[in-house]
């Protein structure tokens, strides 16, 4: 067993145009002041990070690490959630997802996809230059519009979608393998990898690739009513990243899992600030520790009620209180009888004449 590292914070929901949230130095010092020990950087936010420069300059990467060290935190991982989403986009979402990419590729799906793939390759190189061993992303989605089987799906539709998804991601996984870095897909509705079945379908199609791994975020499982503790049991060897995010699900006569197109504050399933939802984090931290997860516990804050700065301050304390310092001895060592092999044989009645 190993002690989980943390607390850390994903900066995407906090970066902004006003100080201290508009520069890496400022936001890192703010995070450290709240008690965070690590930060996870959204690679698309140019106020904080230059992905191309990090992929091509170790000097720049040393400067990034130096800035963070001076602030009192370290870099946990990079994220390409927005770019990963664009590796696979169903045409129904073209207009919505164009906003994730530069203006010059808007309205040009093939060019947008090529840009996204290049971004992932840059992220692999940047992760290597920064000495990182895990990376966060989304899988994108081709099959998501057909989640509900009505009208009846034609035979082979989902299989074709996952074959294509694997084809697009396999070279990227190979690039991360060359970089010595795990590529961790956040299991998330809206992506083709949104539960255990879909992750396994994808994993099979990339040949069980060593770098194909999971960013575990239990909030998305609460909203699907999925057994997130059992998920850890099943996929413990593939969970290489952990977002500590809370959620609640309160079905009513009006709403269930699909939540009736309601805005977030009125949905039966909604994300909550850490500690305000229903996730069993004591169970999660116990299982991850039991199975030897040695990554970071990273706060991803999303809530439609509480202010983010209050959520961040409470989140740092919440994670720190849930991290388990692993034991270095058995709890019943006080009763150790000091036996040896000969004594064990005597206890079992295996004397000299026993066979």
Answer whether residue 173 shows pLDDT above 90: yes
pLDDT tens per residue, range 120-139: 999 999 999 999 999 999 99
- The percent of residues above 90 in pLDDT, for the chain, comes to 92
H or E element at residue 54: helix 51-56
In the chain, what are the domains? Answer: 5-348 (3.20.20.150)
The pair of three-digit structure tokens given for residue 5, joined into one six-digit string: 């590292």
pLDDT tens per residue, range 2-19: 999 999 999 999 999 999
Q: Per-residue pLDDT averaged across 106-123, rounded?
A: 98
The pair of three-digit structure tokens given for residue 295, joined into one six-digit string: 């990554």
Answer whether residue 30 shows pLDDT above 90: yes
Answer whether residue 170 shows pLDDT above 70: yes
**Average pLDDT over the chain, rounded to whole?**
96
Cα→Cα distances 309→12, 21, 27, 256, 313, Å: 13, 11, 12, 30, 6
Cα→Cα distances 179→19, 64, 122, 354, Å: 34, 19, 11, 57
Report the SS3 class of residue 41. Answer: strand
Angle CA 196–228–244, to nearest 5: 110
pLDDT tens per residue, range 207-258: 999 999 999 999 999 999 999 999 999 999 999 999 999 999 999 999 999 9
């Amino acid at each position: 067993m190993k002690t989980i590292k943390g607390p850390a914070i994903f900066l995407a929901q906090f970066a902004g145009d006003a100080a201290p949230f508009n520069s890496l130095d400022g936001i890192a010092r703010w995070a450290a002041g709240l008690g965070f020990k690590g930060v996870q950087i959204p690679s698309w936010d140019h106020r904080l990070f230059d992905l191309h420069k990090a992929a091509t300059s170790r000097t720049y990467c040393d400067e990034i690490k130096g800035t963070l060290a001076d602030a009192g935190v370290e870099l946990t991982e990079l994220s390409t959630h927005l770019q990963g989403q664009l590796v696979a986009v169903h045409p129904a979402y073209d207009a919505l997802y164009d906003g994730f990419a530069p203006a010059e590729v808007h309205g040009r799906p093939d060019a947008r996809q090529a840009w996204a793939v290049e971004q992932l390759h840059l992220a692999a190189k940047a992760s290597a230059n920064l000495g990182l061993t895990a990376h966060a992303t989304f899988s994108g989605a081709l099959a998501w519009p057909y989640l509900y089987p009505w009208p009846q799906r034609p035979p082979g539709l989902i299989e074709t979608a996952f074959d294509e998804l694997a084809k697009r991601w396999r070279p990227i996984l190979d690039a991360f393998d060359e970089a010595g870095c795990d590529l961790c897909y956040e299991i998330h509705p809206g992506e083709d990898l949104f539960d255990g079945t879909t992750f396994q379908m994808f994993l099979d199609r990339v040949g069980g690739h060593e770098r194909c791994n999971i960013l575990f975020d239990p909030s998305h499982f609460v909203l699907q009513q999925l057994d997130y503790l059992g998920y850890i049991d099943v996929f413990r060897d593939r969970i290489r990243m952990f977002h500590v995010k809370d959620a609640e699900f309160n079905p009513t006569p009006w709403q269930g899992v699909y939540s009736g197109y309601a805005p977030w504050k009125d949905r039966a399933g909604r994300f909550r600030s850490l500690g305000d939802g229903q996730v069993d984090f004591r169970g999660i931290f116990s299982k991850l520790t039991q199975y030897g997860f040695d990554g970071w516990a990273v706060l991803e804050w999303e809530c439609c009620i509480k202010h983010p700065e209050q959520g961040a301050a409470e989140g740092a304390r919440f994670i720190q209180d849930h991290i388990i310092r692993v034991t270095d001895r058995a709890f019943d060592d006080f009763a150790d009888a000091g036996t040896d092999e000969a004594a064990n044989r005597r206890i079992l009645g295996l004397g000299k004449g026993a066979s």
